[in-house]
Amino acid sequence: MFFRFLKTCLLLSVLPLLGGCWSQINFDQLTVVSSLGLDLNPDKRLEVTIQLVNPTLPISAGGGNQQRRSIATYSAVGATVEDALETIRQQAKKSLFFPQTRVVMIGERLARKGLDGVMDYFWRNQYQNFNSFVLISKEPVRQALGKSQELQAVPADEWKAYLESKYYKSLSGAIELYQFLPRLNQSGYAAAVPGLRSAESYGANQRIMAIEELAVFRHERLVGWMNSDETQMVSWLSGMAKSGSFKVKIDEGTIISFQMNPVAVRLTPVFDGERITLKVKMVAEAGIVTSTAELNLADPDFNRKLVRSLTDHLQRQTEHTVYKLFRTYRTDSIGFGETIHRKAPSKWKKLKKDWEERLKTIKVEPEIKVVMTKSGLLIEGLITKDDEEKK
Amino acid sequence: MTKHNDSNTPRRLESKERPSLDVLKKNIETELGNTSDIRTRECTVGEQMIPAVLVWIDGMVNSIDLNSNVLSPIISKSVELDMSPENKQALKLLSHSILTATETTAVTTPAQATSLMVEGWTIILIEGHNAMVAVNTLGFETRSIDEPSSANVIRGPRDGFVESIAMNISLIRRRVRSKQIRVESQTLGSISHTKIALLYVEDRVDRKVLEEVRKRVSKIDIDAVLESHYIEEMIKDSPWSLFPTVYSTERPDDVAGLILDGQVAILVDGTPFVLVLPCTLFHLLKTTEDLYLAYPVATFVRWIRFVGFLLTLLLPATYVGILIFHPEMVPPQLLSSILSARDGVPFPILLEALLMELTFEGLREASVRMPRSVGSAISIVGALVIGESAVQAGIISSPSVIIVAGTAISSFTIPSNSLSGSIRILKFVMLIFASILGLYGIIIGLFIVGIHLSAIKSVGMPYLAPFAPFKKDEAIRSFIRLPWFIQRNKR
Amino acid sequence: MNQQIISNKQFFFIVFVSITCLSFFSSPNQLTSQVKQDLWLSMIFGTLIDIYVAYILQSLGNQYKGKTIIQYTGSILGKAAGKIVSLCYLLFFLIVMMTAMWIYCDFMSRSLMPETPQLVFSLTMMFCAGMATWIGIEAIARLSQLIGAIVLVASIILFICSIADFRIENLLPVLEDGILPPLRGAIYPGSWFGICITVAMLMPHLSNPSKMFWMKSKAVVLGAFIMTIYLMYSIAVMGPDMAGKFENPIYIFSRITHLIILDRVEVLLLLIFIFGSLITISIVFFAFTKGMQQWTGSKSPKPWIIIFGIIVVFSPFAPFSHNSPVISSYLSYWFPIGALCIEGGLTTMLFIIAMLRRHTG
């Protein structure tokens, strides 16, 4: 009887506790933050911009006719990210919902100054989405987020879809937050982030954003940009992408585009006393996509020439890219340091300290093997002209 | 009672010598309280043309039976019989060689006679004889065997139990024509005197289960048993548990299959629902029809039922729990469309879900009790008012209508009515848990339900058997309907 | 109370669930940050320690059939010393429960439901565990069988779905700093796996106690294997640096993984493991209250369930519970060492004394 009494008391004491509903979210006030932007404003203060999604019915459910803005952007200045977000909350009067953020955008100005002290927010806050993509905006984030127009109502959705696609991966060099964050503190594998800028040639009133080029970081600071061809090479060398396209100029006026799939790359360090050599072994299968002049693939000599020039181009591109990274920017965006760490852990311990300095002295030895596989629907040439004319 | 004694005792004493017919008749009538449905038929028996009277209760006897087996033999064939009160063998002779009814007996007191009369017997009173002859002429109108309304089949036998216990036993015996079938009858209910019968197959039944069932049935102390559920609740293992631990069915083929599996059936007179013990959760999720369908189809349907069981319990709770505690789990596009569908809806999510679920339960109850012709009207009103107008008017959001409809459909996949009822109650409990603690609350609720389910038993068999405790062969057989050519010997 | 019997399979799942669910919440943090890629070696060592303990318990159990560890310490050491040693075990159970409860509540309030007070978690969990203990070991065993299967299936599905993100390079180099760190790291899985000395309390309930060692070893190996895969996966997906930074890398790993259309599966995974943890707590609580009943010689363990249930509910408010230096030195140093001393040391001592007794007497 006593226990029954005790049990009842216990149960009753639970009841008032359960009245709280603490972690409940006011679902109707919930607003999805589609992208979060960080930048420095002209006064060199941290400016946070967020893009909010105004939920609309999907078009298939008759939501096409709805007359409402589908996005809204807010920005505020603050000492910390949270500080600025507080201000934004006062402006937007909604409960901001971060777990489905598609894109984290960082302004070039902030990135050049260095991200130290800012990114801690993303490590610590349990609501942040580690799967969101990182982009570096060449123009102020506030403008980029506020004015961008895409085919879809929410631009960040479009960007995410592009960055997620396997097909474009080598070109974009897409990186997710969970990959980006640790690389900021790693010397053996520095971060490289795709850039975003408004494409010219569309006029002022139409803002089409292009995801292109690659921002290269040394630790937490942006040090430079790689152009599209280099971006692709970085993606291949770091093992992030295994396919891509490549164009080769054979003779004067003959340019051939190749589709490379798959591209297998192996980095091997060779130690010779103090000297370190980076051996790049690349095996690729290439197929012709298009050519500006007639090709005679039946001719073995021509074929050999084609392969040789493709190999040469790839070799030159590899050397160019790696030297640009290692010598000009002194950063290791292809993860060579980590390769050494894995293959020769004891050596890495010594190298680790002055790795950035040592990068300048590293020599690259590409070893490239290309196999021609497909040549499209045609076998021999570009366009076979009329027989009579040929004669 | 006292009045009865006062007035009758002297006359009875007197009639011990030579009971007159009137007195005998009077005795019986007073014993039955002069009830108006007593019918009598006067006639004469024997060489001596001794007056006799037949007494029965109207409606309990089969009049054809009464005519051909009792009345006409007495009138036409007893002429050569010496029926004088001095002849001690007279009544014995009468019942042995004249009456052609299946069952006769001799009774001496009016109390004995009346207790037989309420069971449909006819009493023959003969002037000068103290003893009476009772003849079984039981026969009342019963429903004919037709398809059970609680369980329809697409393929399989279409006969269902009726309200007569004898008929029901015969329905089972027709299917299992084995001498191993045992029927143990007894009467329950101090007023209703309801016949119940334990039915089992002698060489397959689990002895322990049988002993336990016998013990529990014998312990029942009740005044009336009008339906088998009275017994179900009295012999259930955990009386307070929401879950049914006794299986009830209206289908003879179901019972036949189960007793072949070694289970014990309890038939109760006056109801078409037969109880079968023991019964586990997975028994309740199986149907006999599984065995009549092709095995892949039956297996698939069975899995759908398992899923339906879980959905009924968890779907509304998960909806509420995810939306108000963990909206990040919803895929972005879905979240966007739920958010836009909820735009302007006045009720919070929990209230909306509760309201809709209650409305649905109400509709369901209303349509069950209504005559068939009105039932369709209710479904139209329900579908139109709730499904269409409430959403159009922006009072209820369409996702919650979808959730409620999904829950309803899932609940219809549960074959057992009693199980579906208890799951529907637990659904609300889960909803409350989810609204307080979200998905964590659901886990807490599931743990409590799980611990309860693992703890309860049905006459010694764990309720979650054969999965916990795990028995490989039986678990496979509950999970997959094995084809007959694989399961060789037994069902 | 009539003797409740658990079958070997149920016993297997009890041990499996306890190991996976306890180590899911407790050891990843120290292991990934200190041992990184080589944690599989720590796991193997930890498993070996535990198998050794299981062997001792098996031989002790064979010697004193039908008795729990609390009962046979008395027979081995004599009455007074036996009481003290068995009190050590009981206190150990209690400390393990409180530590586990503290870890759960802390973790839940950090990641799953930040605004909810910790008391709510400890209260609901303790209510469930108390109820399960009240009902008895048989029901717990049955439920653990179900949840064990669910844990196994869910883990396998998760592994298959995240195979695309798996980067095996992240697991290299092997033995970067030699064999010492993984050896040192072995105390974490070793101590938490060792919690299975609760089996010494369950042995009288086993339907076939002579198979205990075999079943337990199998379960420990399977559990350690699953946990190793989890940890290796989280390192391979996130890289050792990132994995080492988080409170619970497995949680972050499940956050990163996509499951078909669900972007965030971590809540589901967490829920499954919380369910398992409820069972684990129930088992430790059962062992503890049963032991308490035997130690004090009272008739029923039920009063102990209520008394200690209330005590454990308040474990999130234990002194120093929000003092990070104390917590981290307790979790990464004092608790594992203490646990190993009791599981390994005290039990070995019992074993040796029992051996000597048998040979002399």
Report how far residue B346's alpha carbon sits from residue B145's, in angstroms, rounded to the nearest whole number: 53
| Residue B3 confidence (pLDDT) | 42
| Residue A201 confidence (pLDDT) | 67
Asked if residue B160 belongs to a domain, the reply is: no
Asked if the interface predicted TM-score (ipTM) of this complex is over 0.85, the answer is yes
Report how far residue C219's alpha carbon sits from residue C221's, in angstroms, rounded to the nearest whole number: 5
Work out the minimum CA distance from A160 to partner chain B, whole angstroms: 12
User: Which of C98, C93, C106 is closest to C194 using CA atoms?
Assistant: C93
Indicate whether B260 and B303 sit together in one domain: no
Range of weakest confidence among A94-98, A146-150, B24-28, C150-154: A146-150
| Residue B265 confidence (pLDDT) | 93
Tokens of B436: 């307080």
Domain covering A231-391, topology: GMP Synthetase; Chain A, domain 3 (3.30.300)
Q: Tell me the pLDDT of chain B averaged across its residues.
A: 84
Test A57 with B436 for CB contact under 8 angstroms. Answer: no
Strand runs (DSSP E) across B202-273, as ranges? 247-249, 264-268
What confidence tens digit (pLDDT) does each residue in B372-428 have?
777 777 777 777 777 778 888 888 888 888 898 899 899 888 888 889 889 999 999
Confidence of residue B479 (pLDDT cuts 50, 70, 90): confident
Greater pLDDT, C247 or B463: B463
Domain total in chain B: 3
Indicate whether B296 and B368 sit together in one domain: yes
| Residue C1 confidence (pLDDT) | 42
| Residue B274 confidence (pLDDT) | 92
Numbered residues of chain C with Cβ closer than 8 Å to any chain B Cβ? 7, 9-10, 108, 112-113, 116, 120-121, 124-125, 127-128, 131-132, 135-136, 138-143, 145-147, 261-264, 267-268, 271, 274-275, 278
What confidence tens digit (pLDDT) does each residue in B236-254 have?
888 888 888 899 888 899 8
Work out the minimum CA distance from A343 to partner chain B, whole angstroms: 40
Indicate whether B258 and B379 sit together in one domain: no
Greater pLDDT, B227 or A209: B227
Test B450 with C274 for CB contact under 8 angstroms. Answer: no
Adjacent-strand bridge partners of A211: A196
| Residue B488 confidence (pLDDT) | 61
Indicate whether B269 and B391 sit together in one domain: no
Span C167-195, average pLDDT: 76
Asked if residue C361 belongs to a domain, the reply is: no
Indicate whether B359 and B472 sit together in one domain: yes
Span C27-32, average pLDDT: 73
Q: Tell me the pLDDT of chain C averaged across its residues.
A: 81
Range of weakest confidence among A286-295, B211-220, B482-491: B482-491
Residue B308 predicted with pLDDT over 90: yes
User: Which of B489, B456, B473 is closest to B284 using CA atoms?
Assistant: B456
Test C306 with A7 for CB contact under 8 angstroms. Answer: yes
B 460-489 → C contacts, CB under 8 A = 462, 464, 467-470
Asked if residue B407 belongs to a domain, the reply is: yes
Indicate whether B234 and B301 sit together in one domain: no
Note down the domain range covering B349. 291-479
| Residue B266 confidence (pLDDT) | 93
Q: What angle do CA A160, A163, A168 make, to 5 degrees?
A: 145
Indicate whether B321 and B466 sit together in one domain: yes
| Residue A10 confidence (pLDDT) | 63
Residue B445 near chain C (CB below 8 Å) = no
Asked if residue B448 belongs to a domain, the reply is: yes
| Residue B264 confidence (pLDDT) | 92
| Residue B426 confidence (pLDDT) | 92
Amino acid at B429: V
Given B279, B306, B321, which residue is the final one in a domain? B279
Indicate whether B344 and B435 sit together in one domain: yes
Span C323-339, average pLDDT: 79
User: Which of C281, C279, C249, C278 is closest to C266 using CA atoms?
Assistant: C249
Indicate whether B94 and B218 sit together in one domain: no
Indicate whether B185 and B299 sit together in one domain: no
Every domain of chain A with CATH number 3.30.300.210 lies at 231-391
Q: What is the dihedral of CA C282, C283, C284, C286, to 10 degrees?
A: 80
| Residue B375 confidence (pLDDT) | 72
Given B225, B256, B279, which residue is the final one in a domain? B279
Asked if residue B344 belongs to a domain, the reply is: yes
Provide φ and ψ at C248, rounded to 5°. Answer: -140, 95
Residue B304 predicted with pLDDT over 90: yes
Confidence of residue C161 (pLDDT cuts 50, 70, 90): confident
Span B359-378, average pLDDT: 80
Tokens of A212: 């292109």
| Residue A22 confidence (pLDDT) | 67
CA A225 to chain centre: 13
* Residues B306/B284, Cβ–Cβ less than 8 Å: no
Test B332 with A63 for CB contact under 8 angstroms. Answer: no
Note down the domain range covering C138. 8-317+324-356
The pTM of the full predicted model, rounded to 2 decimals, is 0.86
| Residue A14 confidence (pLDDT) | 58
User: Which of A363, A356, A202, A192 is closest to A271 using CA atoms?
Assistant: A363
Q: Which chains reach chain C with 3 or more Cβ–Cβ distances below 8 angstroms?
A: A, B
* Residue ranges for chain A with pLDDT beneath 50: 381-383, 387-391
Residue B194 predicted with pLDDT over 60: yes
What confidence tens digit (pLDDT) does each residue in C108-123 have?
887 777 777 888 888 8
Indicate whether B100 and B222 sit together in one domain: no
For residue C121, what is the domain's CATH number?
1.20.1740.10
Domain total in chain C: 1
Asked if residue C134 belongs to a domain, the reply is: yes
Adjacent-strand bridge partners of B199: B183, B265
Indicate whether B244 and B373 sit together in one domain: no
What is the CB neighbour count within 10 angstroms for residue B260? 18
Test C252 with A178 for CB contact under 8 angstroms. Answer: yes
Residue A25 near chain B (CB below 8 Å) = yes
Tokens of A169: 């991966």
Residue B13 predicted with pLDDT over 50: no
